[in-house]
Amino acid sequence: MAKLAADLLEQIDALADQLLVRITEEIEIYRTECLVSRAELRASLIANMDQILGRLLGERGGDLSAPRLIGRTRAAQDMPLPEVLRAYRLGFAFVWERLLGAARDSGQRSVDALLDTATTIWELADDFSLALTESYREAMSERMIEADRRRSGILSAILDGPASGSLSAWEVAKLLDLPYEGTFLVVVAEVTEGRSSALPRLEDRLRRLDVGSAWRSQPHHEIGVLSLGPRREPAAVLTAVEQVALGRVGVSPVFHRLDGAARALRLAQVALEALARGTKGIRRLDDDPHIDLLVRDRETTRRFVLRVLGGVLATPDHERTTLLTTATVWIDARGSAAEAGRQLYCHENTVRQRIRRLEEHLGGSLDDPRVLSDLTIALRAIRAFPELGDRLDA
């Protein structure tokens, strides 16, 4: 066997030319030279045959540097792994054919020796193919991680606001392959303990909905900018998010230019924080005119709600809930007791009685624009932060 391998090593240049012809005839992607040139392919054939025959000579130990290099190189060239492995199979079959031909020319003793070591040769083929596959996948994994980091860094330019980087929102849109203007949402999802992802397989679902997305991963959260494309209503998108969520998820109001992503992120974070810890669910904030003021300073907002609605919040649960619900519906109905009654399934006089009780707790009439304004903003704050509407202890 050593003699057969040594004889083939002396012919390695001619063998590489023959194998080059076979591979380019049988594998189209090598024939077109779109990714790998003939010269590079020939050099890799020589390197791998040299290492294979050297192993058969007993001179190379367990050296697998050639297949590992090819794996990383082909990954960098975006060569499909099945085609690379197919070329390897052709290469080992070619080496076997040449060994068998040389053994027959040498005599029966050489043929017997070759057959006795056939298992070793095919085990060697497995070792080389495995080394190539592992290095290919390692390289592809590194590329994917690097691409994710790059996209995450680019996304930061709009999520962290104008001061975070030199890229404009328009440049970010081009780099992330997202439109600059359209219909967008920001999603903030909590990564729960023991999980590597907050929204597993969501991107596949979004692609099926024709929704583009870009993501930034943090230790405890995943943040995504979703481009709804022609889909104007986010209902189907929110359903897809809710179906895969493993923890709390906050969703921003819809916005229409990428430079609004930083504000949308703040609102999505507020929506998430309003959900109880340890629960699983999704919450989306409405784009209320007062929302930016309310979320800027939670403690100030809490004190304002207590000042306006403290008397209501101190009442028993049933009365507190009834008064807050009636007030919200009455304001949304533009002060119409009849319309509020229709929505609440009660008589309009019942609505008026509840409003009078509410005014007693407010310490003023809702005919006073200042009292009405304070009530409206306080109710908006409770809508943004539901815990602010909890009953006060005596």
Q: Does this model's pTM top 0.85?
A: no
Cα(98)–Cα(15) distance, rounded to whole angstroms? 9
Tens-digit pLDDT profile for residues 306-329: 999 988 998 888 999 999 999 999
**pLDDT computed for residue 350 by the predictor:** 94
Cα(158)–Cα(193) distance, rounded to whole angstroms? 28
Helices (H), 177-290: 202-208, 235-244, 261-273
Tens-digit pLDDT profile for residues 179-234: 888 899 999 999 888 777 889 889 888 888 889 888 888 888 899 999 997 666 78
For 285-308, what is the mean pLDDT? 78
Domains by residue range for the chain, with CATH: 1-142 (1.10.490), 169-287 (3.30.70.270), 296-388 (1.10.10.2840)
Cβ-contact 213, 224 below 8 angstroms: yes
Tens-digit pLDDT profile for residues 233-260: 788 899 999 999 999 999 999 998 888 8
Cβ-contact 178, 258 below 8 angstroms: yes
